[in-house]
Amino acid sequence: MVAAGEAGSGDPFGGIFAGRRVLLTGHSGFKGSWLTLWLDRLGAQVRGVSLAPETDPALFDVIRVDRRCDSRFCDINDGAALWDAVADFQPELIIHMAAQAIVRDSYDMPVATFATNVTGTANVLELARHMPSVRAAVVVTSDKCYENNEWDWGYREADPLGGSDPYSASKACTELVAQAYRRSFFSAPGTARLASVRAGNVIGGGDWAPHRLIPDIVRATAAGQEVEIRNPASVRPWQHVLEPLSGYLTVAARLLGDDASAAAQAWNFGPDIDATVPVGDICRIFAECWGDNGPRFAFRHNPDAPHEAGLLRLDSTRARLHLGWRPRLGLRDALRMTAEWYRAHAEAADLNALTLTQIKEFEALMTPSPRHEE
């Protein structure tokens, strides 16, 4: 692990996480593994709680996340087991990412999806409520928490919640649970502060989840197979995984700082409009970034596929105005970094070093360049 004293140089969060005890649920997942590595680089003491990795390969194993944190495998649906896994750690900050995160799986496992995304969240917030050490909590949900009307404009934090499928509805419920806990238990002076954060589709190295575009492309390419794309016209807000993670950390830093009350609300973290493009365009650009021996595609519409939203964008004006957050990577750069990571994996390169390098490069984009006097 990185010692707290090593975290200061170029830290875009001002060193606020150095030495902090951070509980991260879902640390074995794709986003959780990236965030664990980043928090460790920032000098935090991380305890990760989640189920064991569900894919093989898994980013958690490839970059040895267990060497970057105190890793505990535990089901957040078991409140007593969750408490036992965390009580001796006494976290100051909780970032709750553990979830059933696949839309298609929610059709096969609707009860399990609601249990994990709703009851599991309530268990985590109960822990936060009864643990005096906790100063701040960030609940991670999804852009799919909104009632999707296929609008051309982005959804704002105050727009109605809803969902036409079990996954989306469970994320709306997660937001309602967070809102209820914030108003009931985390609003009085001296209590912890609670925020929820929402992001859309993320890409980046190390995602091998089923039914996701980039992992499906990578698996097919590794097998020398053509990639079947069922909904090439579906428009999504694409962003590199480090974009929303930088937003989550920005919110967490505010909750731990002097302006905690103002940060205790819902926040959107979406890409710029030029990164909201059809699936077919993502396929073309990703193939260009890959280069030789890259992906080959077959575009076939499947009328029997489960319903998925055709257009869903986030309006991140609130985060821009009040947090100073903004996307740092253009779409092509995000896809270039992602292709670079998967090519390195195919070549058995040092993925831990590459992942850290990409984090450092992103941090450099977050840090304003010094102004020079004329």
Residue 148, classified by CB atoms within 10 Å of its CB into exposed (0-12), middle (13-18) or buried (19+), is buried
Q: What is the mean pLDDT of residues 137-160?
A: 92
Classify residue 13: in a domain, yes or no. Answer: no
136 and 256 in contact (C-beta within 8 Å)? Answer: yes
Residue 109: per-residue pLDDT: 87
CATH for 76: 3.40.50.720
Classify residue 5: in a domain, yes or no. Answer: no
State the Cα angle at 246 between 37 and 158, rounded to 5°.
135
Instruction: Supply the pTM of this predicted model.
Output: 0.93
Give the range of the structural domain holding residue 84, as residue numbers without chain letter.
21-366
Q: What is the mean pLDDT of residues 233-257?
A: 94
Classify residue 149: in a domain, yes or no. Answer: yes
C-alpha to C-alpha distance for 338 and 340, rounded to whole angstroms = 5
Residues 324-367: tens digit of each pLDDT: 999 999 999 999 999 999 999 999 999 999 999 999 999 999 98
**Structural domain count of the chain:** 1
Classify residue 253: in a domain, yes or no. Answer: yes
Classify residue 1: in a domain, yes or no. Answer: no
Residues 266-281: tens digit of each pLDDT: 999 999 999 989 899 9
Residues 61-74: tens digit of each pLDDT: 999 999 999 999 99
Residue 340, classified by CB atoms within 10 Å of its CB into exposed (0-12), middle (13-18) or buried (19+), is middle
Query: In this predicted structure, which of 6-20, 188-202, 230-244 has the lowest mean pLDDT?
Result: 6-20
Residue 309: per-residue pLDDT: 52
In the chain, the amino acid numbered 28 is S
Classify residue 6: in a domain, yes or no. Answer: no
Classify residue 14: in a domain, yes or no. Answer: no
Residue 1: per-residue pLDDT: 40
Q: What is the mean pLDDT of residues 161-169?
A: 92
Task: Give how far the C-alpha of residue 281 lies from the chain's centroid of Cα atoms, to the nearest Å.
Answer: 23
Output the CA torsion 313→319→324→329 (10° steps): -20
Q: How far is CA 214 from CA 84, 102, 228, 341, 372, in A?
A: 37, 14, 12, 12, 41
Classify residue 2: in a domain, yes or no. Answer: no
Q: What is the mean pLDDT of residues 92-102?
A: 92
